[in-house]
Structures are given as structure tokens and as C-alpha cells.
Structure 1
Amino acid sequence: MKIDNSVKSSGQVAGDNKTRAAREPSSSPVQTSGGGTQVALSGKLDQLVAQAPVVDGAKVDEIKQAISNGRFQVNPEKVADGLIESVRQMLSAQPQSA
């Protein structure tokens, strides 16, 4: 597998925690031009984005190098466990229907 190195890293992550934390949640209603529909944003999306992990550029570069050198090995059991845990979290977050 060939890795495309055409994207250059500046060493900074665009959405670091400082930037995310500085954003204020928007709660102002938005009017559409057609029918006067209002949408109020609760700030929930901003909270979720602020909690998202920041990408470790050094770790990404390390993994890219391991892949290109043929040293990167996938642990299928760990991948499967992670997928199952993700599905469990998504299912538990859904409202229960009667």
C-alpha cells in the first residue's frame, strides 16, 4: 500500500482544545427566508465537539511510517472489541422505544 505524502503537516491541529473551548454555544434562533421556520441550537453539538479527542500528529506520522515500512500489524481481536464497544455505546445512547 502506498501512502500519499502530498499533504504537508504544519505541526498544529486545526481544532485544538483551546479553539474549541473558546467557542460559545449558539442559542440564537435562525429564520429561513421561505416560511419563517425557526431553529434553536442548544449548544449540544459544540459540547460534543469540545469533548472530541485531539489528533496526535506525531502518533499519526509514526503509524504512517510503520505502514510504509511494513511494520504495522493489525490486531483483529482489538479492532473487533473496539467495534463492539462502539456499537454498545451507540445503542445505549438511543432512547428506548416501547
Structure 2
Amino acid sequence: MKIEGTYKGVGNAGDVKARGPRESAAKPGAEAGSKVEVSPLASQLQQLQGTLTSVPEVDATKVGELKQAISEGRFRVNPEKVADGLLESVRQMLTAQPRQA
């Protein structure tokens, strides 16, 4: 069985043909100008998404205050609070992880 010579390469500029405008992607029976209604929940989600895009990911004021406190030596680390936070994170990860048999 001979396989060589049957493959036609892709990406050859000479093989590209101009095409006309694509046909409508609408499903058969769909009318032009069909009306689409969005549920109230979907509308609310869109509004919330718009609100969230305007909220910065980092609170620059808080970061500035922490930098100032660190540079002035006023920032104190509470080791118990850090340990409690780490333990809580591990608990959450363990409960979210599926059990292995």
C-alpha cells in the first residue's frame, strides 16, 4: 500500500480561493429580525458584570496604608491569626477534594 504522494499540503497561498459572503447562520425557519428575550436574572447578571468591571482588583489605598505601616515599623504580624488562616485554607481544600478509595 503506497501512502506517499496522497497528502496535499495546507497553507499554500496558491490554493486559496476567494469566497463570496457567507450565507446566514440562522436556523431554517428563523425570520430576520427575530426578537430575543432575556430573563430578568440574565439582565441582573449583566448589570453586576458591568459593576464588577469598574471595581479595582486591588485596594490601592489599603496597600498604601500597609506599605506605610511596614516602613514605619507599626505593622505587627499576629502569628496565631496567620496560623488559623492557613489551617482554615487547608480544611477548605481538603473538603473540596474528592476522596480517593
TM-score range, shorter chain: 0.3 to 0.5
TM-score by length of 2: 0.45
Structure with more strand by fraction? 1
Q: Which has the higher contact order (CA 8 A, sep 6+)?
A: 1
TM-score, scaled relative to structure 1: 0.46
Question: Greater CA radius of gyration, 1 or 2?
Answer: 2
